[in-house]
Amino acid sequence: MFATAKEIVISARSLTKKYKDFVAVDGIDFEVRRGEAFGLLGPNGAGKSTTMKMIASVSQRTSGDLSILGKEPNTQGPEIRAHLGVVPQKDLLDRELKVWENLFTYGRYFGLSRKFLKDKVEELLEFAQLTEKRMSKADDLSGGMQRRLAIARGLVNEPEILMLDEPTTGLDPQARHILWDRLFRLKEQGVTLVITTHYMDEAEQLCDRLIVMDKGKIMAEGSPAELIKKYSSKEVLELRFGTDKNEAAAEQLKDLAERIEVLPDRILLYTQKGEDLLTQIVDAGLNPITSLVRRSSLEDVFLRLTGRSLVE
């Protein structure tokens, strides 16, 4: 992508957020450029959501600098929020309102005229494939529909930056793919996306560039491909020997691979050629109960960086 040539829309320097003694975000630096899809990847409690809230100007930083479209969130909150679309993690739809009223009233919060919103709501309902559900109560929609409505709501003010907190958590695979498709279309139209996720596949699918966060700090930064190349091998061999036997097996396997990770339920062997390694292991007389060869993912990057897995 040629994102690097574009204007910086979000810039954070030594950004820190403390709640009493707890440091949620610990002096992080990053920049987001116009039109890119920027990801914050990390486990629960890594500080992603807090970072998102500070960008969305609904949380005041403790120290450091943060600038959104050249504006200061502490004093220009409403002005910044007029530029942003926010899709919160739990949708937070207005359950007392119908589907179209959710979009309409939210648009009114921005001061948009009824005339403008009349057309806008129709356009968004179509985009979210909810035209037929316009008169339903928001509560009666399926999970995927609720998420699409939340995204449509975030778009009502034609934002330059759309912030999505865990956009596909809790959705079935089909609903996820529909959603990713909608997000791609937005990106094609020049909307900057800021996405938090703890799903590797989602980060790999959607993000041009991402930061890996853990315990309030940035562990690594780059495109998904760059990160995998830098922190992992090409392929991974996953083996299961049974709950009590993994440790003992790992002892015998440790010199065969570039790197080895022993998880409670399985062993991961990092290698360039997974099938070859498996043959070698079986020939050596070790018989795993199950085996799987796969390509390296951001999960492996995270494991390498923190020694822990993303979804715990």
Given the rule CB under 8 A, which residues bind another protein?
Answer: 19, 56, 58-60, 74-79, 81-84, 86, 88, 90, 92, 94-98, 101, 104-106, 108-113, 116, 123-124, 127, 137, 155, 157-160, 186, 189-191, 264
CA dihedral 87→91→96→99, nearest 10 degrees, is: 70
Rounded Cα distance between 81 and 249, Å, is 55
Judged by beta carbon, residue 157 or residue 232, the one nearer another protein is 157
The distance of closest approach from Cβ of residue 50 to another protein in the complex, given in angstroms and rounded to an integer, is 10
- Is the Cβ of residue 106 or residue 241 nearer to another protein in the bound state? 106
**What is the closest distance, in whole angstroms, from the C-beta atom of residue 94 to another protein in the complex?**
6
> How far apart (Å, rounded) are the C-alpha atoms in residues 85 and 89?
13
Q: DSSP string covering 288-307, please? A: -SEEEEEE--HHHHHHHHHS
CB of 122 to another protein, least distance (A): 12
Q: How far is the CB of 172 from another protein (least distance, A)?
A: 24
Number of neighbours of residue 282 by Cβ within 10 angstroms: 12
Which residue number, 105 or 205, has a Cβ lying nearer to another protein?
A: 105
Q: Based on CB atoms, which residue is closest to another protein, 78 or 173? A: 78
What crossing angle do the helices spanning 298-306 and 224-231 adopt, rounded to 10°?
50
Please, what is the minimum distance in Å from the beta carbon of residue 77 to another protein? 5
Distance CA 164, CA 88 (A): 6
The CB density around residue 96, as the number of other CB atoms within 10 Å, is 10
Residue number with CB closer to another protein (155 or 269): 155
